[in-house]
Amino acid sequence: MNTMKNSVLLLVMFLFSYGISSAQLNGEEYDFKEIRDQLEDALSNLEEDGSFEDNSIFDILEDYFNHPMDINKARAEELKELRFLSDIQINEIIQHRIDNGNFIALYELQSVPSLDDNTIQLLLPFIKIKAGIDDYNVPIWEMLYKGKNEVFLRGERILETKKGYTPLPEGEDGSRYLGDRNKLLIRYRHQYETTLSYGFLLEKDPGEELFRGSNKKFPGFDFGSAHFFMKDYNRYIKGLAVGDFAVNMGQGLIMFDGFGSGKSAYVMDLKKLGRPLRPYTSASEVFYKRGVGLNLAFNDRFEVMAFGSYRKRDANISEAVFSDEVLDGEPDEIQIINVLEVSSLQTSGLHRTESEVLDKNAIDHLSFGGTVKYKGPNWHIAANGHMDRLSTNLQRTLQPYNQFTFNGDVLKNASLDYSWVVSNFNFFGETAMSDNGGIATLNGLIIGLDRHVSLSMLHRHYQRNYQALFSNSFAETSNTNNESGFYVGLQIKPNKHWTFSGYFDAWRHPWLRSGVDAPSKGKEYLGRLTYRRKRKMQVYLQYKDEFKERNARENDTQIDYLVDTRKSTIRFHIENNISKSITLRSRAEMTIFNDGINENTYGYMLYQDLNYQAVGFPLSFTTRFALFDIEDSNNRIYAYENDILNSFSIPGYSNRGTRFYINFRYRGIKNMTMELRYSQTYYSNQDVFGSGLEEISLPRRSEIKAQIKYKF
């Protein structure tokens, strides 16, 4: 590698971070290692990269951090929202209350068999033992003005000029971005503890217009969102959402908005569980509802949730009636009188070029449904129903692989989901049907064999003609159809320091897929051995192997044929809190890919992080330097990056070069947090960065972000 000298230097730093003994964890900056791992695994499985816009994950954690939940009243879905508790641990906490009564003191958590010292330390900041008057005795009007207010102001910019912002050469046809290259976000949120929340968000992506063109009307930004949400107001009203909100049903076969767990080293985290309604506070422009939702509990056993949503959706217009009349003094402006047919629903949320703006809010999307749940202390059964109605017919371009995908303007889904905990066994699942007769079913079992060994199993069978627009369930691909598979996970904790976790998953696709021109199958397994010394140091070694059938590369036959491909990944990771102020994080990772025809290709990545949080000093920073050499796109490596508050990114490393970032955070002004981030990726093996309108005529891309958060 051309970067060998830098690699040696980085390796010395890597070993140095391993050799230093740890002193004490800095508790002022709470770091969620488990969530970082889950996000990394989720993005690598989907083979996507970039910034995560779903900041609701950390919003929920921050809410519970500032207003801890009562451990004696916390329901399973609330404990699940913390994300680092397994289903076995959640079940045992609830069973302890049933068998022994309420917790008298938090140290009683040590008597819950599956809770080790590390998990208890993670849990303590988010729970309390509460006595006194419940929050729902506070009048609503008082909650509206009492509580906490937050304002976020954020700006981002790529420093180099992309092709999309340069003028078209004379006589050349093509498209360019209509707006400037700044990304802007304004967010306001009011909260009364965890009971009431309302606020709004305005966002503009790079290349989109601001207060002009397609966004000249109020509010001037390309995307706007507002919400009012109330939960657990009294024993009957468990949730009320007005404006933008998210809906969760069952195991996600018909609907589960937001981030959902999938395959990861946290092999016990299979079961989806969450509140049926959540406030929508994310900048993502796709997976949300806009309207009203209500969750009612008539007694301890019977619960109902219903919602109705109406919103505009981006769609690729294939047939429409246009007008080129003069409107508002702009004779060249194209106006759509009536959309007759669309070929796809767009999910990028980007409106930078004329064609993207034309697809913006092209159709109306009406959605309504609900859940009826009957439950006991250790079980529930629920019926879910949902209907989508589009204002225009959706007719995809017919290909052999997509002939069973939804086309039309109305889609109906129904399902039954269940959960039953008996002794150390947790059975769960969901079976769903779409109105064309397609069926999808998922059934799982999580077993606590003893306090040291846990086992998970999951079987799924999704027919090729099952259809759902908002499904988000356990699967090898991002679609909940055309797949059958079986998963088994094992976790062993022989003592408080060592953990082994691993899984094996095998699946098959009975029908064709995009880029796979025949029925196919695959399998993968992962093993991770972790050493943890309280919350001072964590070291793990992970190996993953994935086998998939794909179309043969560069074959000259008339019909593509399948070959067996294999991707192997090995990762060594060290995280060490060497003092109250300093944390070092180091990683070495290698991938090997074989396409079934040619020789192996390789990918290498080394990074070193330094996190500094001074005790009693308002300035902190986080920085990383990474080296990578990736031969092929199939060797791409994903790595979580610390970002500014309520934002995070997981870039995919490719090509050969270096990446650097540094984040500064200043808290020297009362109630205010100011942040600045600079990052740069440099390629040493090519002269340009990116492609298409995103192309930069330099081998680097530099980004700067700035954010102010003010509480009052």
pLDDT at 286 exceeding the cut of 50: yes
What's residue 8's pLDDT? 44
Mean pLDDT computed over 492-503: 93
The 10s digit of each residue's pLDDT in 602-649 is: 999 999 999 998 888 899 999 999 999 999 999 999 998 988 887 778
Identity of residue 571: R
Q: What is the pLDDT of the chain when averaged over all its residues? A: 88
CA 17, CA 26: separation in Å to the nearest integer? Answer: 17
DSSP assigned state of 112: S
Instruction: Please give the backbone phi and psi of residue 599, each rounded to the nearest 5 degrees, phi first.
Output: -70, 165
Mention every residue, 6+ apart, whose C-beta is less than 8 A from residue 289: 244, 245, 246, 247, 257, 280, 307, 309, 311, 367
Q: What is the CATH number of domain 69-132?
A: 1.10.150
**What pLDDT was estimated at residue 433?**
98
Domain spans of the chain, in order of start: 9-42+509-644, 69-132
Confirm if 663 and 644 have CB atoms less than 8 A apart.
Answer: yes
Cα 693-649-534 angle, rounded to 5 deg: 165
Q: pLDDT of 464-493, one tens digit each?
A: 999 999 999 999 988 899 999 999 999 999
Give the DSSP per-residue string, 37-82. HHHHHHHHHHT--EEE--THHHHHHHHHHHS-EETTT--HHHHHTT
Read off the pLDDT band of 276 (50, 70, 90).
very high
Answer yes or no: is pLDDT of 524 > 90: yes
- 85 φ, ψ to 5°? -95, 130
> In which band, very low, low, confident or very high, does the pLDDT at 4 lie, cut at 50, 70 and 90?
very low
* Rounded distance between C-alpha atoms, residue 702 and residue 685, angstroms: 17
Separation of alpha carbons 235 and 254, rounded Å: 28
Q: What is the DSSP string of 364-399?
A: EEEEEEEEEEEE-SSEEEEEEEEEEEEEEEE-PPP-
The model's confidence at residue 515, banded by pLDDT at 50, 70 and 90, is confident
What mean pLDDT comes out for the span 427-456? 95
Token pair 């356990």 is found at: 474
Q: What is the mean pLDDT of residues 191-203?
A: 94
Nearest 5°: CA angle at 239, between 235 and 243? 150
In three-state secondary structure terms, 15 is helix
Report the pLDDT value the prediction gives residue 619, as an integer from 0 to 100.
93
